[in-house]
Amino acid sequence: MRKFAIIGLGRFGRKLAVSLASSGAEVIAIDKNRELVDEIRDMVSHAVRLDSTDEEALLAQGVDKIDVAVVGIGGEQGGFESAILTVVNLKAIGVPLVYARAETHTAGEVFMKIGATDVIYPEVESAQRWTYKLIAPQISDKIDFAPGYSLAKLKAPASFDGRSLIDLQLRQKYNINLVAIKRGDNCPDKKQHGQIINVPMPHTIIYKDDMLMVAGSDPDLARLPQE
């Protein structure tokens, strides 16, 4: 499971940090406000009060070792400037994926220009949606059909290439069901490119970048390999 740093514990940041932690992720929650840090301390792996515009402070807490950082600092009282400096610091210390919360599209464009991986607009996107997107980026689309259960679409990872359903044992290993396959460009038979296999059989071969439609619980779907 990836390690996350959530920086800025306002309404969105707090919900996202708690939601990620509830999904089993290791989460470092960071804010300058001691009260906000104390409130979330028992809900995440680690909560710390620090100034994220201080690169040395980030390094001291091991933020350079995390996989994904989300900068959720609000725009009030110099917050936008702090968020910009925080994104720059995170990129400088080598955090692979840095997402930034933006209140306007103009702010979002600024974050993208300074190297943010993507921009979150909390007014139109929920923390729950981003929880799943961050934990399971291999899932390109998801339809919830019952609480905690979904039908999801993902590209077959390289580790699935050339293997049959019997070999992959998706039900046994991941507790998910393969509903359908759309052949991608890596299928050796060019005539099958784009073909839909709506009843996959045990000996059906999956190739890298085939589009798979799978069903299962959200935690089980999140465990599917990304590579």
Confidence of residue 77 (pLDDT cuts 50, 70, 90): low
Q: Which residue has the higher pLDDT, 134 or 203?
A: 203
> Quick one: average pLDDT of 189-217?
90
Confidence of residue 130 (pLDDT cuts 50, 70, 90): confident
> Quick one: average pLDDT of 161-183?
92
Domains, the chain, in order of start with CATH, read 3-135 (3.40.50.720), 139-222 (3.30.70.1450)
Decide if pLDDT at 146 tops 80.
no
> Quick one: average pLDDT of 26-37?
95
The predicted pLDDT at position 191 comes to 83
Q: What pTM was computed for the model?
A: 0.64
Q: How far apart are CA 196 and CA 24, in angstroms?
A: 35
The predicted pLDDT at position 96 comes to 96
Q: Judge whether 14 and 44 are in contact, CB under 8 Å.
A: no
Q: How far apart are CA 160 and CA 165, in angstroms?
A: 9
Decide if pLDDT at 164 tops 80.
yes
Q: How far apart are CA 23 and CA 210, in angstroms?
A: 28
Q: How far apart are CA 148 and CA 216, in angstroms?
A: 9
Closest CA to 46 of 63, 70, 29: 29
SS3 state at 162:
coil
Q: How far apart are CA 70 and CA 20, in angstroms?
A: 12
> Quick one: average pLDDT of 185-191?
87
Buried b (16+ CB within 10 A) or exposed e, 68-97: bbbbbbbeeeebbebbbbbbbbbbebebeb
Beta strands in 11-127 (DSSP E): 26-31, 46-49, 68-71, 97-101, 118-120
Q: How far apart are CA 41 and CA 114, in angstroms?
A: 31
Confidence of residue 128 (pLDDT cuts 50, 70, 90): low
Average model confidence (pLDDT) for the chain? 89
SS3 state at 9:
coil
Question: In Å, what is the CA distance from 182 to each residue of 121, 125, 205?
Answer: 32, 29, 12
Worst-scoring range by mean pLDDT, 59-68, 70-79, 114-123, 178-187?
70-79
Q: How far apart are CA 199 and CA 68, in angstroms?
A: 37
Place of tokens 């300074």: 114
The predicted pLDDT at position 223 comes to 85
Residue 123 tokens, joined: 């007014």
